[in-house]
Structure 1
């Protein structure tokens, strides 16, 4: 399944049209590589990738090196079975409009069969109507109407993330926490018994006379679900509070047991 996802991602090309700033080219390369995408095509950029592009790529130099430079959008789209254009503004002409998640689903579905492209326009004006006419769909990132300007690299990152999220979801890939060695029920009962004993020893409360206190404490620690290491730490603290550990046993040179046990006393 991972190989299939990799193959599909490799068939998705991001096409940048007449990019003005080379730094944006590098930033897009970085955005793509972080999401496992590797294809970038440039249409008549103001300047080819330079030192600034390399600096902004931050390790995605290989994408810059492989990026094709084309005189026209037609050449950059050669062989593509699906083309989706990205635009920050709505068009007066009715055009099939997608949000980023649906855009990602369509690109991946078609990439299983062949080459596809996502086209990003100029930083200042986006895609022309003539360029849009070469696209099957238009994708729009729903930004705040009061400030809708989105840098081309930021837009590429949003769209690249949606593509990867959709690919992981279709492949059944999920983020999972490392397995925890949770404390058992009997170990938790040992903690609660130790806690009740310590509360009596400290004169904080008599659990026999305040059953609701122990119920609340049980609920607190059961909600936290400590692992065995955490439970041992808690019981060590309780033992120290009961005086079962020598005060100041970690005192540094020149410290007294009292100041080691209570650093605030030196203030």
Structure 2
């Protein structure tokens, strides 16, 4: 399970936090660290703070965007310290770990995303996540260092992995062997972009006043966790809608 999980840090500004995150991961048996557009470098301070977790730093993956870092993931969870304008599925660290174990049993890649030290993840970044995880700190002193937050989540992920070592895929999310793996972020995102284009073409979505339609549609499909065949079916439906709309438009033009 743990080798299917990546820890993703966005716009990290302090190299010491990168090193401390690597140490927290190695303590709990995780090894895959992704840095999205980091401001800090993997320098000597990071190496010292990693406390012999240099192998994680040596193999760190650096991407320009969050979407690139999570493109092949079937489950993406973003850490959030505050409520948002549109409610999103919210989990505790333990619930997050249980969900990750279910996704891993079904052979999915998993990403747990951590935001900037000063302000966390943006709304746009959080909307790329299937769910959010909140660490229930004391309200009187809720500020938590990003490496500490990574330690909490890695601990819960390790706990969830221990009984799963002897479990079969029968313990996956739906209680049976599923016929297709979950759609990756890239596949789901492609379908949503296709849907947005189609809705604009048929006049259902006004691109000048989109409001929150596509954010809510994204939330719907990420909550449903469609598999790859279901995504293909949806895209086929969208193609049929586009063709029907085009034929109707051509017929109207001929009549005019």
What TM-score, normalized to structure 1? Answer: 0.60
| Alignment-derived partner of residue 60 in structure 2 | 67
In the alignment, the residues of structure 2 paired with residue 24 and residue 64 of structure 1 have an alpha-carbon distance, to the nearest angstrom, of 12
Residues 10 and 37, structure 1, Cα contact 8 Å, conserved in 2: yes
| Alignment counterpart, residue 119 of structure 1, candidates 98, 113, 124 | 113
**Cα drift, residue 90 of structure 1:** 2.3
- Determine helix, strand or coil for the equivalent of 1:28: helix
| Alignment-derived partner of residue 143 in structure 1 | 137
- Is residue 37 from structure 1 mapped to residue 43 from structure 2 by the alignment? no
Residues 88 and 150, structure 1, Cα contact 8 Å, conserved in 2: no
1:189-232 Cα deviation digits (max 9, x unpaired)? xxxxxxxxxxxxxxxxxxxxxxxxxxxxxxxxxxxxxxxxxxxx
**Cα drift, residue 88 of structure 1:** 1.8
Larger Cα-atom Rg: 1
In the alignment, the residues of structure 2 paired with residue 65 and residue 141 of structure 1 have an alpha-carbon distance, to the nearest angstrom, of 29
In the alignment, the residues of structure 2 paired with residue 108 and residue 48 of structure 1 have an alpha-carbon distance, to the nearest angstrom, of 32
| Alignment-derived partner of residue 239 in structure 2 | none
In the alignment, the residues of structure 1 paired with residue 108 and residue 164 of structure 2 have an alpha-carbon distance, to the nearest angstrom, of 18
In the alignment, the residues of structure 2 paired with residue 11 and residue 48 of structure 1 have an alpha-carbon distance, to the nearest angstrom, of 25
Q: Which runs of 5+ in 1 are unaligned?
A: 1-7, 173-267
Q: Which runs of 5+ in 2 are unaligned?
A: 167-256
**What is the CA RMSD across the aligned residues, in angstroms?**
1.4
In the alignment, the residues of structure 2 paired with residue 25 and residue 107 of structure 1 have an alpha-carbon distance, to the nearest angstrom, of 23
**Cα drift, residue 92 of structure 1:** 2.9
1:101-120 Cα deviation digits (max 9, x unpaired)? 01001112112212110000
> Relative contact order, CA 8 A, sep 6+: which one is greater?
2
> How many residues are treated as equivalent by the alignment?
166
What TM-score, normalized to structure 2? Answer: 0.63
1:9-46 Cα deviation digits (max 9, x unpaired)? 00100000000101000000000000000111000110
**Cα drift, residue 170 of structure 1:** 3.7
